[in-house]
Amino acid sequence: MAFGVTCGGAATIVKAVRQHYHKTMIVKLSPNVTDIASIARACEDEGADSVSLINTLMGMAIDIEHRCPKLSIRTGGLSGPAVKPVALRMVNDVAKSVRIPVVGLGGISTAEDAIEFLMAGATAIQIGTANFLDPQITIKVRDGINDWLDRHGCQSVSEIIGCV
């Protein structure tokens, strides 16, 4: 059920969860919306501790020989490098619109990608699809971020968060 695609739906579910769950709540946001910043604000207003974005973009592929969708349920989630520019823009939109921390993801497969998300305003990043190609990717990205910070004379990653 896509309850996160309207401000009202997102607010209702966050409020309901908040009433019963008192530990850290990070709300994962869908990119399949017109204004993700307003949905993030609705989650913040109802007590979310953080938001993470983006989830997958709805996509479709067609088997032209059989003239039917390739996926049995017609549509599916698009992830990986193709979604990175969309994700970065949305992370930047949301980071400028809320006071709670933003977790950025969507197409990250290198340290440079991760640094882009940090500069866009994410205070943490996640990696999904790239793990299928390289199970060591999170360690490589972590080390690459540290190398970049050292080369640029940064004492802490916080020096680059939201610098764009």
Ligand X SMILES: Cc1cc2nc3c(=O)[nH]c(=O)nc-3n(C[C@H](O)[C@H](O)[C@H](O)COP(=O)(O)O)c2cc1C
Q: Which residues bind ligand X (CB under 6 A)?
A: 28, 55-56, 77, 79-80, 83, 105-108, 127-130
Q: Which one, 89 or 154, has the nearer CB to ligand X?
A: 89
Amino acid in the structure at residue 16? A
Q: Which one, 6 or 126, has the nearer CB to ligand X?
A: 126
Q: How far is the CB of 79 from ligand X (least distance, A)?
A: 3
Q: How far is the CB of 14 from ligand X (least distance, A)?
A: 15
Contact 110, 141 (CB under 8 A): yes
Cβ atoms within 10 Å, residue 8: 10
Q: Which one, 18 or 28, has the nearer CB to ligand X?
A: 28
Q: How far is the CB of 78 from ligand X (least distance, A)?
A: 8
Half-sphere exposure of 152 (CA within 13 A, CB side): 12
Q: Which one, 8 or 59, has the nearer CB to ligand X?
A: 59
Lookup: tokens for 63: 């088997």
In eight-state DSSP terms, residue 1 is: -
Q: Which one, 55 or 92, has the nearer CB to ligand X?
A: 55
Q: How far is the CB of 88 from ligand X (least distance, A)?
A: 12
Q: How far is the CB of 153 from ligand X (least distance, A)?
A: 29
φ, ψ of residue 4 in degrees (nearest 5) = -95, 10
Lookup: tokens for 152: 């640029």
φ, ψ of residue 53 in degrees (nearest 5) = -160, 150
In eight-state DSSP terms, residue 3 is: G
